[in-house]
A = this chain, B = another copy of it.
């Protein structure tokens, strides 16, 4: 194999696929990135058997062939190569030669045919939205998923597509985050199939026979985190998502990401969300965040002590008391309904505040034992946070 490409293009491509290289694996070839120049395109692949990423890059194929090469070493090498064109070649012993300007490296590679290719995903019923919308949505929901495997389903993002809307939900037993967007605003009508439609129209008009798209799947949190990282996030470029029984595939630009789905049934989220409330408070998000941030200062990491919000007419008073000391601060708010005194882990409130973009936000309370909801009128976002008991 022999290819010639620009250092920048190679670096960019390796940087994308390297996110799927496993930290630990029993199959040494998976520590490699596969360079496949056996056809007319240069294709780079990495695969940890859960998540696989493949991308096509610019370059000239001088000798067709494939090569697997240690991803970490290759990435560092390319990164420190002089700017300009580089040549990557290999011989029958899988020894790689990497040359750029006067710098010349020789490194042992592996047999590319032993590499595990990405599984096949049938490409019908695409879900289409802008790269920006997907990247944004992941960032505003994923933090509420559980980071550890105690309950596998809680580590996932629940994706639902129905009635031309896409919804993503994450929860970890203490909180829930949910975002909903209209797909019809996102799709490009010039694409081959357009299944996303305006809410009030008849479904599938443009595609003729296509049925209304209804999909739900639990996407691994890790996969979604990596996608958020490598998505360029352009407002006018699309991502296509294909879901099968076991797999999900994301296609954007020259890149394909395939991931296994998490098996099982997601929680009945609609049962968790109530719209009744006894108290509604409108706060300035920035001010509330700064207050909450200060309250965390005197709570040690392993301390479960809550911050106590005492909400009366026009005033939200915040108080914490720990072995380090105490903090008190109040802010002006506009309140509707009953007074309430309720305790929270301030970190959970803070995380939700950071994920919301509005300047003024509404918090809804029922009583001091019931979850607090933060949502806008259209419910484009819903954040639920469980309160913490406290002794008054």
Partner of A291, one of B96, B103, B106, B107: B103
**A101 and chain B: residue at smallest CB distance:** B329
Which A70-113 residues sit within 8 Å CB-CB of chain B? 73, 76-77, 80-82, 96, 102-108
| In contact, B326 and A103 (Cβ under 8 angstroms) | no
Question: Contacts A73-B298, A297-B76 given: A290-B82 contact, CB under 8 Å?
Answer: yes
What are 28 A-B contacts defined by CB distance under 8 Å? A73-B297, A73-B324, A73-B325, A76-B297, A77-B297, A80-B290, A80-B297, A81-B294, A82-B290, A96-B325, A102-B329, A102-B330, A103-B291, A103-B294, A103-B327, A103-B328, A104-B327, A105-B294, A105-B298, A105-B325, A105-B326, A105-B327, A106-B325, A106-B327, A107-B298, A107-B325, A107-B326, A108-B324
Binary per-residue interface labels of chain A (304-315) against chain B in the complex, 1 for a CB within 8 Å, 0 otherwise:
000000000000
Residues in B with CB closer than 8 Å to A73 are 297-298, 324-325
Partner of A325, one of B102, B108, B297, B298: B108
A293 and B108 alpha carbons, distance in the complex (Å): 20
A327 and B106 alpha carbons, distance in the complex (Å): 6
A297 and B70 alpha carbons, distance in the complex (Å): 13
Partner of A80, one of B107, B108, B294, B331: B294
**A108 and chain B: residue at smallest CB distance:** B325
A325 and B105 alpha carbons, distance in the complex (Å): 7
Which A296-354 residues sit within 8 Å CB-CB of chain B? 297-298, 324-331
**A317 and chain B: residue at smallest CB distance:** B102
Residues in B with CB closer than 8 Å to A107 are 298, 324-326
